[in-house]
Structures are given as structure tokens and as C-alpha cells.
Amino acid sequence: MPRHWLMKSEPGECSIDDLAAAPQCTVPWVGVRNYQSRNAMRDLMALGDDVLFYHSSCAEPGIAGLACVASPAYPDPTQFDPASHYFDAKATPLAPRWLLVDVRLVRKTRLLGLHSMRQTVALADMAVLRRGNRLSITPVSALQWQVLGGLLA
């Protein structure tokens, strides 16, 4: 049974349109540098899991499309690249610290704004809406997924 996730991306880094324009409509989810989110990818995600693609840190934050997990977790190559913003001097290929999964577009949706999400009672318990939430990857319950499916249809 697939799980459901919400993954935040800054549109300036990778927007839903960037995802749609990528080869195979698939991107490696580079740049996660938070242990909880890394562990979620490593331990909890599985190929085929559903993903809500969320635009954060932008003028209109909200869900912009549906995607899916398209690979198992593997080392994030940017941690080894001194030229990368995501370089981590303490990581080595033999002892990688950061992992990622590939994410593939399922379909772009209308933008379901953060404000609309907050106004939807059935979504009130979503992890991403919790005060002070800063995780870039959060779980979505089956019920929440169903409600969102209706709102995004």
C-alpha cells in the first residue's frame, strides 16, 4: 500500500514546470540536509509512493502538482561536489551522509494555496500546516490524500 507524502520545493530551485520539463519528467531530489527528512526517504519511502509537489518560499505557496517516488534512496551527489551549494565536507562516497530519491511528475494541478489548505477542516492535522513546521518532507494520511484529490480534481 503506497504511502503519501508532501515534498516542498522552492520554485526558484525546481518548480512544477521545471519538473515537467526534466528528462522523463523526473528529478533527483537534491539538497535535503535535515536528518528527519533524510530518514523518511531512507526508511519510510518506497518506489511508487504518492507525492504532493509543494511550492514553498515564494509568492504563492501551495500544492502545484502530483508526483511519485521514482527510485529507492541513494546518495545525493551534490554532497561530494565542492562547487555545490549543498557540499558537505564531512561526507565521503564511502560514508555518504545525505540521501535522495528521484521524483517523477504525475500531473500538474491547479495551485491549491496554503491559505485554502488552512481553510479546509479535513486538512487541519496535516503535518505541513503545523505551527513552526520546517520539514521539507512530511507524511500525508490516506484520508488527507483523498480530500486533496477531490480539491485538486
Partner DNA sequence: GCCAACGTTGGC
Summarize as ranges the residues that interact with DNA (CB under 7 A): 8, 10, 33-36, 56-58, 61, 114-115, 130-136
Closest CA to 33 of 104, 102, 99, 128: 99
CA 16 to CA 54: how far, in whole Å?
A: 8
With CA atoms as reference, report the closest residue to 51 among 31, 36, 35, 37.
37
Minimum gap (Å) between residue 115 Cβ and DNA:
6
Contact assessment for residue 11 and residue 55, using Cβ atoms and an 8 Å cutoff: yes
Please state, in angstroms and rounded to a whole number, the distance separating the CA atoms of residues 8 and 128. 9
Residue closer to DNA by CB (options 12, 48) is 12
In the bound state with DNA, the residue whose beta carbon lies nearer, of 2 and 97, is 97
Least separation in angstroms between CB 139 and DNA: 14
Q: Cβ closer to DNA: 107 or 115?
A: 115
CB of 24 to DNA, least distance (A): 25
- Whole-angstrom distance, CA of residue 115 vs CA of residue 40: 26
CB of 113 vs DNA, minimal distance in Å: 8
Residue bearing cell 521514482: 70
Q: Which is nearer to DNA, 64 or 69 (CB)?
A: 64
